[in-house]
């Protein structure tokens, strides 16, 4: 593979770090099973274990959406910058 010499904005920017965190957070939350493997407190009779994970469906959706919006802005800024 040959390296393509190009002038680019830095690859790691604060916005991209936030995007990465948004995408990684669900992995930490869901794979750490010990943090939610219990039945109390319950919600309208549903044990914690179940409603907590379903709540994470919503949280991860918001996070992915945030990542998507930030990524769009990031890309637009970059292509806009390249055009000038």
Partner 1 sequence: MNDGVNGVALAVFIFFFLAVTVVGFLAARWRRAENEASLDEWGLGGRSFGTWVTWFLLGGDLYTAYTFVAVPAAIYAAGAAGFFAVPYTILVYPLIFTFLPRLWSVSHKHGYVTTSDFVRGRFGSKGLSLAVAVTGILATMPYIALQLVGIQAVLDVMGVGGGEDTNWFVKDLPLLIAFGVLAAYTYSSGLRAPALIAFVKDTLIYIVIAVAIIYIPIKLGGFDDIFAKAGEAFAQTNPATGAPRGALAPAEAGQWTYATLALGSALALFMYPHSITATLSSKSREVIRRNTTILPLYSLMLGLLALLGFMAIAAGVKVSNGQLAIPQLFEDMFPDWFAGVAFAAIGIGALVPAAIMSIAAANLFTRNIYKDFIKPDATPAQETKVSKLVSLLVKVGALVFVLTMDKTVAINFQLLGGIWILQTFPALVGGLFTRWFHRWALLAGWAVGMIYGTAAAYGVASPTQKHFGGSSKEIPGIGEIGYIGLTAFLLNVVVTVVLTFALKALKAPDGVDETRPEDYTADAGDPGVEVELPPATAGTSH
Interface residues with partner 1 (CB under 8 A) are: 1, 4, 22-24, 26-27, 30-34, 37-39, 42, 44-50, 53-54, 56-58, 60-61, 63-65, 67-68, 71
Query: What is the rounded CA–CA span in Å between residue 81 and residue 84?
Result: 6
Cβ proximity to partner 1: between 58 and 83 the closer is 58
Q: Which is nearer to partner 1, 30 or 77 (CB)?
A: 30
Give the C-alpha separation, 52 to 37, whole Å.
10
**Distance in Å, CB of 14 to partner 1, minimum:** 19
Give the integer Cα–Cα distance in Å for 83 and 29. Answer: 40
């Amino acid at each position: 593979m040959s390296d393509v010499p190009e002038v680019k904005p830095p690859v790691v920017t604060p916005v991209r770090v936030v995007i990465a965190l948004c995408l990684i957070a669900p992995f930490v939350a869901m794979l750490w099973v010990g943090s939610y493997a219990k039945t109390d407190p319950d919600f309208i009779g549903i044990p914690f274990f179940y409603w907590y994970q379903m709540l994470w469906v919503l949280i991860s959706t918001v996070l992915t959406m945030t990542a998507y919006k930030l990524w769009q802005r990031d890309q637009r800024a970059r292509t806009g910058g390249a055009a000038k």
